[in-house]
Amino acid sequence: MRRKPFGPTNVSLPVVGLGTWNMERDREADAIAAIQLAIELGMDHLDTAELYGRGEVERRVGKAIAGRRDRVYLVSKVMPNNATRRGTVAACERSLARLGTDRLDLYLLHWPGSHPLEDTVAAFSQLVDDGKIRAWGVSNFDVDMLEALARIVSPQQIACNQVLYHLEQRAVEHRVLPWCRGHGIATVAYSPLGSGAFVSPRSPGGQVLADLAARFDATPERVALAWLAREPDVFVIPKATTLAHVRDDAAAAALELDADACALLDRTFPRGRATALPTL
């Protein structure tokens, strides 16, 4: 599994990790098996959140990583309504209990909320000092919110910004991705295949993806993931709960698209005009 430096942290992460959003909808045994296979294949960047299934997904992740904790870069998130100074600490402790671990490698504010960022950051700092998290970052932050955060702390303390990013949704390329890149912050693309509709041959760009997949002896999904992960500071965390899907996602890390393929995808899936940062 190809790896690269993860923002200002001192770790390198796989270019393809594993997301767990909506994993509570799958059979528990399938979800656990998928997580464990992902770890075996080197997709050890494992992302979850207290929001997912109201804690059920964290519990499943905890079962999957039992006996494997030291092999995983474990990420969870605090919901904005919990993100007061005391609330963030309490939320983290609940997540740790559900995950069956004593620390998170990364803790994110899930999206901007109404509580002062200063309080959330203070809680993150306390959690770092207490050894309960090793780093922190944010999710779904646009440039205005990133700049507000940078007035409170050095950007070197912000590990990443996790955002919706895929071939059909490229809004982050206008301002968010350049801002993060300019400040040495990693960008993590969640839902990097969207709903899956744009990879279908029946979609406007689906046939292009299919043709490229045939050329590179890959799948359209693999091509779409490789296009995102080609940048040195972009990481992808697709959700997968079948073993075949996990294997296909892992194989995307080894796929290197040439300049002609990237140019074709850029023309087929234009980034469009700048809009507000979308979220799911």
d(CA 57, CA 46): 12
pLDDT over 90 at 213, yes or no: yes
pLDDT of residue 202: 85
The question of whether 73 is a catalytic residue gets the answer no
Helix (H) / strand (E) element for 220: namely helix 220-229
Quick one: pLDDT band at residue 197, thresholds 50, 70, 90?
Answer: confident
d(CA 172, CA 178): 8
Domain boundaries, the chain: 13-195+228-242
pLDDT of residue 273: 74
pLDDT of residue 52: 97
d(CA 177, CA 171): 9
Closest CA to 165 of 223, 241, 229, 75: 229
Q: What is the pTM of this model?
A: 0.96
Residue 112 in contact with residue 140, Cβ under 8 Å? yes
Calculate the alpha carbon distances from 140 to 39, 113, 165, 195 in Å: 26, 11, 10, 18
pLDDT over 90 at 59, yes or no: yes
pLDDT of residue 209: 97
Three-class SS of 18-48: EECCCHHHCCHHHHHHHHHHHHHCCCCEEEC
3-state DSSP percent of the chain in helix, strand and coil, to 5:
45, 15, 35
> Within a 10 A sphere around the Cβ of 230, how many other Cβ atoms?
14
Largest Cα separation within the chain, whole Å, is: 54
Percent of the chain with pLDDT over 70: 98
Residue 58 in contact with residue 24, Cβ under 8 Å? no
- Amino acid letter for position 35: I
d(CA 152, CA 58): 30
pLDDT over 60 at 90, yes or no: yes
Which runs of E-coded beta strand occur in the chain? 3-5, 12-14, 18-19, 45-47, 73-78, 106-109, 136-139, 158-164, 186-190, 234-237
What dihedral angle (degrees, nearest 10) is formed by the CA atoms of 243, 244, 247, 248? -150
Percent of the chain with pLDDT over 90: 93
pLDDT in tens, 241-260: 899 999 999 999 999 999 99
Between 197 and 274, whose confidence is greater?
197
Q: Which two tokens stand for residue 24?
A: 């509570």
Residue 180 in contact with residue 139, Cβ under 8 Å? no
Helix (H) / strand (E) element for 181: namely helix 176-182
pLDDT in tens, 92-138: 999 999 999 999 999 999 999 999 999 999 999 999 999 999 999 99
pLDDT of residue 221: 97
Residue 163 pairs in a beta bridge with: 189
pLDDT of residue 56: 98
DSSP code per residue over 124-145: HHHHHHTTSBS-EEEES--HHH
pLDDT of residue 111: 97
**Tokens 């939320």, residue located:** 91
CATH 3.20.20.100 fits 13-195+228-242, yes or no: yes
pLDDT over 80 at 280, yes or no: no
pLDDT over 90 at 279, yes or no: no
pLDDT of residue 115: 97
Quick one: pLDDT band at residue 204, thresholds 50, 70, 90?
Answer: confident
pLDDT over 60 at 194, yes or no: yes
> Within a 10 A sphere around the Cβ of 46, how many other Cβ atoms?
25
Quick one: pLDDT band at residue 170, thresholds 50, 70, 90?
Answer: very high
